[in-house]
Amino acid sequence: MVLIINTTSNNELSNKVNWLLNQRKTDFEVINTADMNIDHCIGCGHCWLKDPGICAIKDDYGAIVQKIVVADQVWVISDTALGFLNHNGKKIFDRIIPILCIYLEFRGNQMRHITRYAKPADLGLIYQGEAEQAFLQVWLEKCAVNMNCHSLGAYPVTALKEAAICMH
């Protein structure tokens, strides 16, 4: 299943994604977070130490992380600010932490957290606004390494059809 998390207020963008994925007969769900209460990660370690896998922040993100755990792919749609994801898109990535364990392992020559679940979802990014695609691509690949999954790519909204080809 493909999980699309739209952090923008652009519902027309969600409609375009819906239409593209319906054409491809892809099993998907779109979550529009514009009216949801999602706080930033506070780095408290609760999800690693006190209640493994459960965030201490009680907001609307708890239901989203439960869907991330069972998804095959997670695509975040975000606006940009200062050439990077804006705060709404970034906090979606930051709050994925509970699906990792505090324990570490070597992957290649890098030390990374062990994933809590057998098959972490692959990650993709669709952004609208000014940003350097090559930089976002490298950043997303590093996120994927941390999550022990694959990067599906970072695409500007103008390349939405190309991104949809990767969604399956």
| SS3 call for 37 | coil
- The CA distance from 125 to 139, in Å, is 10
The parts of the chain modelled with pLDDT lower than 50 are: none
pLDDT reported for residue 12: 87
Structure tokens at 13: 């963008």
| pTM, rounded to two decimals | 0.94
Work out the mean pLDDT of the chain and round it to a whole number.
93
For β-strands 84-85 and 122-128, DSSP reports them as unpaired
Q: Which CATH number does the domain 2-165 belong to among 2.40.70.10, 3.40.50.360, 3.90.1150.10, 3.40.50.980? A: 3.40.50.360
